[in-house]
Structures are given as C-alpha cells and as structure tokens.
Structure 1
Amino acid sequence: MNKRATPKYKYQNLKDYLIAKIRSGSLAGSGRLDSEPQLCERFSLSRNTIRQAIQELENEGYVYRIHGKGTFVRNATPVNSRKIALMIYDTAYMAHPVTGGLIRGIDETLSRNGYILDILASKRSFHDENLMRLAESYAGFLIGTYQLDELMLAELEKISLPHLFVKNYPMNHDVHAARINFTHAGFLAAEHLIRTGCGNLALIYSGDRIAISAEFKEGVYSAALEHGARLRRENIFIADFSDRLAVPEICAELLRHEDRPDGMICASDELAIALLAELKRHGVSVPGDISVIGCNNTENSTLTTPPLSTVDIPVMELGRRSADLLLRMIHGETAQPELLEPSLVIRGSTR
C-alpha cells in the first residue's frame, strides 16, 4: 500500500519558490523583496502565510529585514552564510590577553560548527548603507565594544540580523548579551582585602561611563558596606584599564595622605602591576604596608614580585558561550542571556 505524501503547507510552497528565485540569481544580492501586500496579491495568500514564509527565510539566512525599508536578499553564497563578524573598537586590542582569550573561545566554537570568524574595527563608520552591506555578508554579529553611538545602536535594531553583545555592552540599553558578573568581581577583590585585615581601601577603575567598570565599583562598594571597611571618595581614582602612565601620579597622591589606604583594588592587572612597581620605587612594602589586588588574571600577574593576587575572568569560556548563543539565534532559537561568574586567585601581593 502506497504511503500518502505529506501535504505541503502554502507557506512552504512560497518559501521554496523564493529560495529557487534567490539561488537562480533572479533576486540579486541586496535586492528587495516585494512588500507583504504585494506578495499577498500576487500569490493570493494571507498576510500570516506570507509572514511565516519570510520568517523562515530570515531564520535560514536567505533574507534580512530593515525596519521601515523592507526585506532584502542576503548574498547567500556558502561562504558568506557561514561567516560571523566580531566587532571590537580597535584591532590593536587583539593583542590584549583578555580580548585574545575571548577571540580564541569564539573561534574555537565557530570553527567546530563550520563557521568563519572575521574581526572588524567598530571605530569605522558602520552607519546606514555600510551596515546594510555588512548584514548582507554575515550570518550574525558579535559585538565586543561599548563604544557605539546611538545611531549605530538604532541601525543594529533595524536590521534583523542576529547580534549579541559580548562582555562589554552599552549602558541604558536592553540588549542581548553574554556577560561576566563584574559586580561580583569587585566584591570578591574588596572582600578578600578586608578579610585579610585591610580596613581602609582605595580603588583605581575606568569610571562610570563604562558599564562593566561601573559594575566593578558597585561590587567594591557593596563589600565595603557589608564588612564595615572605609572607601573614601578621595581614594577613588579613574584611569583607563591599560593607562599605566596615570599610576605614578595616583600613587604619589595616595602616599601623601596621613591616613593612607592599606588595601588597593585595581580594576585591571595592568594597573595593579604598574602600581606594584611604583610602590616599590617609593620603598613601600607589598603586602607588608599595602596589599594590592588586580583583575583579569593575565599571564603577567604571575611574573611580578610579589606575584599579584587577582580575580579570574573566564574570557575563553565567555567566547565559547557567546558563539554558541549566537549560532542558536541564527537558527531561530530563543536566546537566553549568559552571566558567567569570576573567581578569586590569591598570590603574594595580599596578606
């Protein structure tokens, strides 16, 4: 007895027809599809049927939507449909161990799933048509920078291409993100100093304009409040995470205080390593006079004298998780945000 053929739904017929047109080149890359009303009239189908077909084409990487402009055909060659773009502010950041670890984790997962990673510098202009062309060339975006202006963020929302913020994210925006719990990182650093006898803390961080930096400070404050330690306003300093040139002036300011801090928290290992060198130059014993703790657990943190206590940030695992999350978004699955936890690494720079 012959088995009955499984009936094809109307939206599948339309979807198959459009795929055939795309593959034949009849709908050239970056060409716009007819509007929903035009497709309804042309194929005598309901708007819901049209939307279902277009949604599946979008999920499978054939088309992308731009709010207010329409639905466009992606250049769906095998290579482009398997490419992921990672946006960082400046490609010089690739040399930093945190960014490097993140990239290795992303690339490991993408390669295992047959995808190719491209790295783009977001300080280039990605507005309007340029961003549209990028959407045509990639299956999705990973965004590893907070340095995006409002126009760029608005353009990202208009384009239906799956995108995910990684580690960094813009403040005051509800975005899909894979993140590290930097509030807990700051809390761990401060709590460790307090538990080892430090009661007068100081903090060097990158300021409140960067979300993860503001989170780190919040964690330090929380630990100080919970355990009754002091963190006076005059002992809070702002310096870029890699701005070692700012450290001598900060150190001199701290040492001028009669009631100087006995515990220093730095939001990056680079700042902490520079501080260790400056304290040594001034004849200050670490950890005898002042304990110092960093953040990131970079390789250089093991090479200082004394070795630097720090907070480990699982950037490689974050890279793996973010790549996996984006791939699930590309395949139409619901993306749940990821929040990875840091851990304390105790070495000789704290008591």
Structure 2
Amino acid sequence: MTKLFGRAAVAALALGFATEAMATEWNVSVWGKRRAFTEHVEKLAELVSEKTGGEFTMNVSYGGLSKNRENLDGISIGAFEMAQFCAGYHRDKNPTITVLELPFLGVNTLEEEVAVSHAVYAHPAAQADLARWNAKLLMTSPMPQYNIVGTGEPRDTLAKMDGMRVRATGGIGNAFKAVGAVPTSVTATEAYQAMESGVVDTVAFAQHAHLSFRTIDQAEWWTANLNPGTVNCPVVVNVDAYEALSDDHRAALDSSVDEAIAHYLENYGALLKKWDGVLEEKGVQKVMIDEAELAKFREIAADPIREQWIADMSAQGLPAQELYDLVMDTLKKQRM
C-alpha cells in the first residue's frame, strides 16, 4: 500500500512539473494606452491563450516594461519576449524597413499597408537586419496615411509650411523638411505637451493617435488629404523566446497573426467611419489641400528622398533598389 501510494505521489508530482513546464508566459512591451494601434496585439494574446487552453499567455504592458524608443533594445537582451516599435524612432537600427516610411509611396488602404509591410518583413535582408537585435519580425501595425493638426491659420500651401515646426518622424519628417518645415521627432506620448508648450506648431499622426494622444483636443484644423506617408511599426519577438516555444505553442502563435490583423483592420475601419463625426464634435475644421499644391509637394519630396534613400542604403551594402521594387510590385499585385 505504501509503495503504491509512493508511486502515485511521484506520478502526480511529475505530472505537476510537466504541466508547469508546458506553461508559457510572455511579457509584451507597448506604450500609451490600449487603442486601435494595439488591438492586434491584444487579439493575438487572446487567440494564443484560447488555442493553447491557457497554457500560453501574454501580459501586455503599456509602458511598464520599457520606453517606446527602447523596445528594440529590450528585445535584444531578452528583457521581454515581444514588443512593438516604430522604424522612424531609430532608423539606423532598422534601415531595411525604413523603405516603408518613404514619403508618397502611394499606399491607399490599410490592406495595402499590410501587404507591402509583410512582403518587406519576409525579405532575407530585413530578417537579417532585425536579427542583429535578436528580433524576429512577426506582424505590422498598419496605419493610414498621416495628416497634420494645428492651430491658427491652416497650413494649406507649401509656402505656409515653410518654417512650420512639425512633430513628424522618418520619411514624413524628411518630406516636410524638403518644403522648409522643421520636423522634430518627439515621441507620440510627448506630442500633446510639445504642441501645448509651442515646441511644435503642428503634429503629424494617423487618426487613432490624434485621438489617443489628445492632439485633436488642441486642434483647430486637420488636413484631410495631405497624405505624405505613414510610419511603419512592427511587432517583433525575441528569437530565443520564439525558438524555445513548443511546436504547439509556436503553431498557435504563427496561426494567429492573420486573425489578429483581420481584427485590427475591422476595428480601425470602424474608427475611420466615425472620424468626420469626431471632427465635427470637437469643432475641428477639415482642410482640403489643392491638388496643385499636393503635386508640388510630391515633386519636391518624393523622388529626391527616394533616390537619396536608395543611394544611402546601397552604400551600406543593403539591397535598397530591390526592397523599393518589392514594395511597388506588391502594390501592383494587390490591385490586380
């Protein structure tokens, strides 16, 4: 009897250890607050937990683990297993994916943004680029074209943008610089204060960020059709953590990406439908920029910045022209 009990106890103890060993808990570093920009991360966590019966869980932290500009560094040292960041925050750390932040690429929809981003993420050069930080590109955070909010007289011509102090990062910042504006790359969480204190006159964001970071609350006008480009913000995972997953847990993660993105697109689409109502409610003027001004903007900013990017990246030994062509070819395929 004693022997039987002893064996049963050992078996139960072993089962307990096995169950514990099967459990996986990841920490995920994002910033701000839960919003349209993070809905795919939240959905991913939900799906992975469902598919694994609660064995694989993700704790999504909004600024508690790292500053947004330091998320890639945190991934590199294994401080957390998953993180979101934006390429324009540190272009030198992720040069390949900055092709997606070039101004006036002509991406028209969130679905097109997903397609071009994931095409670039799958390119060996981009994967090698991020592998330097022990990071694996998992999925994008697709955002619509940026537009600016401001106070006072609307900046609706290139002449009026000359000298404008604008919160803008990456290729969008370069585009504004090309027409005489002065871009500054304060983080999203600092944008409201920068606008309030007069450090910047205007702020370039996608719609969800104007809401989440309250720049719309200070705005008197919003450019509805400037559309100079967008930023690219991947979600990455630590390579060691990814490779340490069991086959079942890795399959649960990989198979949930498309579902999470689909949820994000549906959620963001609902926000875009409400946007005109938000402007009306807050008394923000919707400014339409003349097509002739937009054409001048594209002529000044698009071709020269793209050619300079290709030259600079090629000089670093990166297949810059190939990456740019990949974006253009992917857009064509999306529209067939």
Q: Which TM-score tier does this pair reach, normalised by the shorter chain?
A: 0.3 to 0.5
TM-score by length of 1: 0.37
Higher helix share: 2
TM-score by length of 2: 0.38
Which fold has the larger relative contact order, with Cα–Cα distance below 8 Å and residues 6 or more apart in sequence?
A: 2
